[in-house]
Structure 1
């Protein structure tokens, strides 16, 4: 749809609980994750043309457990995503080949019941080759965190043993999707926990991290997806109550673009 909510159309249907989405406008593709049913380990990643045609599964059912936010690093030709109950940060080539696990926070059914291990949203800082990701934590437990590490696993280490992981913020309500303003070096994220710190959009400098993140949008109903349009000083946010909001990057001029659309998750902004 247009950014004012007009010209809205369905381009792909019959997805298996779709969640994250990213657009490669130059190549004319959209990519999205299908969470599947978490208890069945049947997540997947699909690709289609921007108009929804030529749909293709590029990461087969079960090769990823319950994939969430997905991002594209065009320079390296890689797709990255978080796998929630799989407790992993994963990547592959844009055609689905060379599937890898970069970070693994747990393994097995017992670990998967521990929501502090659930990886949900992610962003990449290409300048310093760092990857940021969120771990949701239990509902409203204040145990959510955002961590960062090098994109590449250190030599001689594995996705489970790597020692370069550092916590960016912890004791968060329930951090979900991340977006990085590369120009201004600021990380934005949604939080679906309870107020006052949850149901919000937050931001913080990644080079000069403040003691507490700045809350720029409040009163969401379980915020999930976020997309930034830096040149036009605006963001777009979805929540689980079915609304799409737009606002300036400082949270001002907030307006509801759509409402009552069902459980909304991922969102992407693209000029096509």
Structure 2
């Protein structure tokens, strides 16, 4: 039996949803802020998630350094704070490498890519953009979605740009490089996207998938593109439209489907070939989602 783990915003909690009958179970209540990204370590049977902290500048500003990385067991027990205490601003999507016990996440208002071991040790800032005088320039540097190509050791991420602004971008860097990350070894793969959010890498297809919460006609959509041999993203295709502020994304390559969650409260099952969809559930606003 397959399940989805999803992060609800109001009330903030981790919920487990059966894909067989749609029943929902609360695994853990979150009391220290707004959750955003979620990832499962299937080898060690752990759930990892990010908390953006408390909103400081409505409607979506989180500028205080009160974000955190947390984990628990698959049944919601053993809740542990791994990284926090003023070193993260707004952690967003999170992903991990089970073989190396490493976690990677984006810090939106911190304009950075970060990493740690799965026990919270070894915290590292992989890349951080410099502050700008212009608020617009800072928004363009906010990092949100993140994905790993484990075979080729590439880390992909999105910079969403201003809301509905058409300035979203997708980047990547090589994790195994032995020199400092800077503009010379960061690759810009796609530009002028409405507002790309969460990412997933298809390890079987070699495609990159992402949600976009920007304005119609191209935003609020599920997208994919092929990663060419020279690293370019080609054959960009919008698979489905009509998401309600699309955020979370989970791939099921066995079934050739993706699951999306959005701030409108919808969980959708979308066929990756023809874009046909079923609404699995509608509830309150949701952020991250993953397949169990």
Q: TM-score surpassing 0.5?
A: yes
RMSD of aligned Cα (Å): 1.9
Separation in structure 2 between the aligned mates of residue 210 and residue 107 of structure 1, nearest angstrom: 28
Q: Following superposition of structure 1 onto structure 2, how do residues 228-247 of structure 1 map, counting pairs within 5 Å?
A: 228-247=251-270
Q: Following superposition of structure 1 onto structure 2, how do residues 144-183 of structure 1 map, counting pairs within 5 Å?
A: 144-155=168-179, 157=180, 159=181, 161=182, 163-183=184-204
1:87–1:112 CA contact under 8 A, matched in 2: no
Offset at 1:127?
2.1
Higher strand share: 2
Partner in structure 2 of residue 221 of structure 1: 244
Is 1:268 equivalent to 2:290 in the alignment?
yes
My pick for the range that moved more, 248-257 or 142-151, is 248-257
1:227–1:267 CA contact under 8 A, matched in 2: yes
Q: Following superposition of structure 1 onto structure 2, how do residues 89-104 of structure 1 map, counting pairs within 5 Å?
A: 89-104=113-128
Offset at 1:253?
3.3
My pick for the range that moved more, 34-43 or 179-188, is 34-43
Separation in structure 2 between the aligned mates of residue 82 and residue 239 of structure 1, nearest angstrom: 19
Q: Following superposition of structure 1 onto structure 2, how do residues 32-181 of structure 1 map, counting pairs within 5 Å?
A: 32-37=49-54, 38-107=62-131, 114-155=138-179, 157=180, 159=181, 161=182, 163-181=184-202
Question: Residues 170 and 212 of structure 1: is their aligned pair in 2 closer, same or farther, counting only changes over 3 Å?
Answer: farther
Separation in structure 1 between the aligned mates of residue 176 and residue 285 of structure 2, nearest angstrom: 34
Gaps of 5+ in 2: 1-16, 55-61
Partner in structure 2 of residue 248 of structure 1: 271
Q: Name the TM-score, length of structure 1 as normaliser.
A: 0.92
Question: Residues 4 and 222 of structure 1: is their aligned pair in 2 closer, same or farther, counting only changes over 3 Å?
Answer: farther
**Counterpart of 2:85 in 1: which secondary structure?**
strand
Question: Residues 17 and 65 of structure 1: is their aligned pair in 2 closer, same or farther, counting only changes over 3 Å?
Answer: same
Separation in structure 1 between the aligned mates of residue 119 and residue 239 of structure 2, nearest angstrom: 37
Gaps of 5+ in 1: none
Offset at 1:103?
1.6
Partner in structure 1 of residue 207 of structure 2: 186
Separation in structure 2 between the aligned mates of residue 189 and residue 22 of structure 1, nearest angstrom: 16
**Counterpart of 2:110 in 1: which secondary structure?**
coil
Q: Following superposition of structure 1 onto structure 2, how do residues 192-203 of structure 1 map, counting pairs within 5 Å?
A: 192-203=213-224
Separation in structure 1 between the aligned mates of residue 78 and residue 133 of structure 2, nearest angstrom: 36
Separation in structure 2 between the aligned mates of residue 233 and residue 27 of structure 1, nearest angstrom: 26
* Matched positions, count: 266
Q: Name the TM-score, length of structure 2 as normaliser.
A: 0.86
